[in-house]
Amino acid sequence: MSIFNALILGIVEGITEFLPISSTAHLILTARLLYIPTSSFLKTFEIAIQLGAIAAVAILYWKTFLYRWDINKKIIAAFLPTAILGYFLYSVFKSLLEGYAVVLWALLLGGIFLILFEWKHREKESNIDEISKISFKQAILIGIFQAVSIIPGVSRAAATIIAGMFLGLKRKTAVEFSFLLALPTMVAATGYDLFKNAGEFSQDQFAVLGTGFIISAVTALLAISFLLRFVKKHDFKPFGFYRIALVVALLLLMV
């Protein structure tokens, strides 16, 4: 993989990690469009590059992680279901990264679900408006929903945000909790993968990883800022339509 490819994938990762459109799916599809050959390094890159996006969360919410242990306990509770399932399904997850059809189906069905959910959903004044008010039961249930996003194309952001809204969180609260939950989830996933495969990488490959990391961090900061502004006035139906349109466009390109 070239530095140019790492730049493109880093931009794609940073933009899509926190939007409900699946960063993993976009990385897989972008790699195909760039004709990057499938390899063990590419699979690890598509996971490890997410650390850059997660660094953006650490930068923006460092005070919460350091001082708000009432919130951190909820984050840990939500993280545990994904950690357990991810550990036991690690090999299955890696093999799914090869499944182009799996990604397309997940994008399509996820897009339809987003539209239907938003069509029916009505936010109430009594809904939870602060992360500290989330119960441990709600946090764990959000974590269980997040575990579904182990399937490429589902979107971790979509799963956690929709779960939060379904469980009574206001839209902005659900989005911010999704941001915070991303940090332990992706650090664990990336760290585990790098631990298993780091010995196989050359110095040049680490340079490629570093490039992707920096670019994804910068673009993720912009994406987070955009999403926080977006949810103040809009719902997620546009992202649902985008997912469906993306699948249609890709299918047409394959014809």
Query: What local confidence, expressed as pLDDT, does residue 135 receive?
Result: 95
- What is the distance between the alpha carbons of residues 95 and 110, in angstroms, rounded to a whole number? 20
Tokens of 255: 């014809």
Count of C-beta atoms within a 10 Å radius of residue 22: 29
What pLDDT was estimated at residue 101? 82
Among residues 78, 160, 171, 68, the alpha carbon closest in space to that of 129 is found at 171
d(CA 219, CA 222): 5
Residue 113: CB atoms within 10 Å: 15
> From CA 177, how far away is CA 78, in angstroms rounded?
10
pTM for the model stands at 0.85
Per residue in 211-227, is it b (16+ CB within 10 Å) or e — as a string? bbbbbbbbbbbebbeeb
Q: How high is the pLDDT of residue 242?
A: 95
Distances, alpha carbon 48 to alpha carbons 43, 44, 95, in Å: 9, 6, 16
Helix/strand/coil percent split, the chain, to 5: 80, 0, 20
The confidence score (pLDDT) of residue 49 equals 82
Note the pLDDT of residue 59: 92
**pLDDT at residue number 158:** 94
- Each residue's pLDDT tens digit in the chain (255 positions)? 788 988 999 999 999 989 999 887 888 888 888 888 877 777 777 777 888 888 999 999 999 999 999 999 999 999 998 888 777 765 665 555 556 788 888 999 999 999 999 999 998 889 999 999 999 999 999 999 988 887 878 898 999 999 999 999 999 999 999 999 999 988 877 776 666 665 566 667 778 888 888 999 999 999 999 999 999 889 999 999 999 999 998 888 765
